[in-house]
Amino acid sequence: MTYDFKEYADREMLAIDLASQIAGELRAALSHQDRAALAVPGGTSPGPVFDALCAADLDWSRVDVLLTDERWVPESSDRSNTRLLRERLLTDRASAARLLPLYAEAETPEDKLAELADAIAPSLPLAVVLLGMGADMHTASIFPEADKLEEALSPDAPILLPMRAPGAPEPRITLSASALDGAMKKHILIYGREKREVLAKAKGLPAIEAPINAILDEATVHWAE
Ligand SMILES: O=C(O)[C@H](O)[C@@H](O)[C@H](O)[C@H](O)COP(=O)(O)O
């Protein structure tokens, strides 16, 4: 398994440079296909990348934007990744993009799973995926010790899975490893020394212990202090 590791002088430079790489990759995809899908994480890291990317000059009306994973909470919650997307990415030029939701109002992810997956299926494979990583080596909502970990890592996994894990305060819904790994371009965004060390420690571990390994091959990791 090989991946590129790009180190930046600071987080601001990272955000600007990464946004311009993603915009370039979306433009390239749109030059030979009608529509292109971009999947992005929630959490605390990607906001500044969204702030730069939303102004990119490309034909956003042909871009499908979706989350890599979502917490099963309504958009009124400040834990909602969809809310972050609407506030920071689907604005400015990018407001012309189409959002493929990973949440719909219902008690549990299972209630809406099939409906949400059917809406995403025609947009795969992803043109570009951006992922985060937790200090426990999870990516998207594929957590070590999650109830559906093995299923999410299986090559035959469905596109979407409900997920519950000790480290996640609410039920989640996540793209499977194969849906994420099937992206044409893969980027991982991490900040700080701790995550850099965690990533180094993941080397050689099976994906069941280090889920990040399921999507790292041929990815680019973007790091700033
Ligand atoms: O909804 C989420 O929490 C994510 O999509 C998750 O996979 C995230 O990317 C990592 O947990 C890193 O989170 P931070 O960027 O907040 O450290």
- The number of angstroms, rounded, from the C-alpha of 31 to the middle of its chain's C-alpha atoms is 23
Share of the chain above pLDDT 90, in %: 99
For 121-155, how does the pLDDT look when each residue is reduced to its tens digit (9 = 90+)?
999 999 999 999 999 999 999 999 999 999 999 99
| pLDDT at position 167 over 90 | no
For 205-222, how does the pLDDT look when each residue is reduced to its tens digit (9 = 90+)?
999 999 999 999 999 999
Q: Which domain holds residue 77?
A: 4-224
Distance between CA atoms of residues 169 and 175, nearest Å: 18
* Closest atom of ligand 1 to CA, residue 67: 5
Whether cis (ω within 30° of 0) applies to the bond prior to 169 is: no
CATH value at residue 82: 3.40.50.1360
Quote the pTM value: 0.98
- The number of angstroms, rounded, from the C-alpha of 4 to the middle of its chain's C-alpha atoms is 18
Distance between CA atoms of residues 56 and 46, nearest Å: 16
For 77-123, how does the pLDDT look when each residue is reduced to its tens digit (9 = 90+)?
999 999 999 999 999 999 999 999 999 999 999 999 999 999 999 99
Candidates 113, 96, 95, 94; CA nearest to 104 is 113
Query: How does DSSP classify residue 83?
Result: H
Q: How many domains does the chain have?
A: 1
Q: What is the ipTM of this complex?
A: 0.96
Q: Whose CA is nearest to atom 11 of ligand 1?
A: 134
Tell me the CA–centroid distance for residue 221 and ligand 1, in Å.
15
Pocket-forming residues, ligand 1, beta carbon under 6 Å: 41-45, 68-69, 71, 81, 132-134, 138-140
| pLDDT at position 175 over 90 | yes
The Cα angle at residue 80 between residues 20 and 92, in degrees rounded to 5: 35
- The number of angstroms, rounded, from the C-alpha of 52 to the middle of its chain's C-alpha atoms is 17
